[in-house]
Amino acid sequence: DIQMTQSPSSLSASVGDRVTITCRASQGIRNNLGWYQQKPGKAPKRLIYAASSLQSGVPSRFSGSGSGTEFTLTISSLQPEDFATYYCLQHNEYPITFGQGTRLEIK
Amino acid sequence: EVQLVESGGGLVQPGGSLRLSCAVSGFTFSDHYLEWVRQAPGKGLEWIGRSRNKVNNYTPEYAASVKGRFTMLRDDSRNSLYLQMSSLKTEDTAVYYCARDVSTISGGQWGQGTLVTVSS
């Protein structure tokens, strides 16, 4: 199975900060990666697909990059509604696997 | 508007069975892959299965943790995907989500989830 490792596992930041979350795959997955945001008690919401394409309706302060084994999600200027848990997901091969999550908290 | 609505969760004893439903609307049911993903209380997300589209004969893929115990079925007349769960274990306790194909541009939508509790 492909292991997806996110770093950091948790992060404290302030409104207006620039934040970067990293996801590393245990083997190459091309650009077959998505990023999801989940708020407590809610379903995950896809932010990014194909590693760097912004989902329709998602604010442009979110961006993704990377290919192969290393990927990043960047939030250019944190807004209050961005405090949540973020997950990466690889769909290059079965089983589809998620990272363990990054909890983004208010400093 | 794309919608996925899960139902059927509840309390079941270890070793028991349960069937979850995912009713979809807003897109052509037979054209799309559908996924089941679960989340144990306070834990991360775990993909548990995929139902391919009709062109691919609705063939399934399962995670090792559920293979042989869980089965996915489709009903075109009801635009519904089902997850038949048997030999349930306490570690199957989770919120179960249905999602439209996580790997395509048009996909990525999720339902609100349904809670399954396996306990005596």
Residues of B in contact with A96 (CB under 8 A): 35, 47, 50, 102
Distance to chain B for A4, nearest Cα, Å: 12
A104 falls in which pLDDT band (50, 70, 90)? very high
CB-based contact, B5 to chain A, within 8 Å:
no
Residues of A in contact with B35 (CB under 8 A): 96
- pLDDT of residue A99 exceeding 90: yes
Q: What is the pLDDT of residue A74?
A: 98
Binary contact (B47, A96; C-beta < 8 A): yes
* Average confidence (pLDDT) over B96-112: 93
Give the Cα separation of B32 and B37 in Å (integer). Answer: 16
Q: Supply the DSSP symbol for A56.
A: T
Q: What is the pLDDT of residue A92?
A: 97
Element (H, E) at A5: strand A4-7
Task: Report which residue type is found at A45.
Answer: K
- pLDDT of residue A107 exceeding 90: no
Closest CA to B24 of B86, B110, B83: B110
Residues of A in contact with B102 (CB under 8 A): 34, 46, 89, 91, 96
Longest pairwise C-alpha distance within chain A: 38
Q: What is the pLDDT of residue B105?
A: 86
Residue of B nearest to A91 (CA): B103
Pairing outcome for strands B10-12 and B114-118 = parallel
For residue A104, what are the β-bridge partners? A11
Tens of pLDDT, residue by residue over B10-37, are 999 999 999 999 999 999 999 999 999 9
Q: What is the pLDDT of residue B40?
A: 98
Distance to chain A for B110, nearest Cα, Å: 7
Q: What is the pLDDT of residue B31?
A: 96
Tens of pLDDT, residue by residue over A40-92, are 999 999 999 999 999 999 999 999 999 999 999 999 999 999 999 999 999 99
A31-35, A50-54, B105-109: which range is least confident on average?
A: B105-109
- pLDDT of residue A34 exceeding 90: yes
- pLDDT of residue B55 exceeding 90: yes
Binary contact (A32, B103; C-beta < 8 A): yes
SS3 (DSSP) at B2: coil
Tens of pLDDT, residue by residue over A9-31, are 999 999 999 999 999 999 999 99
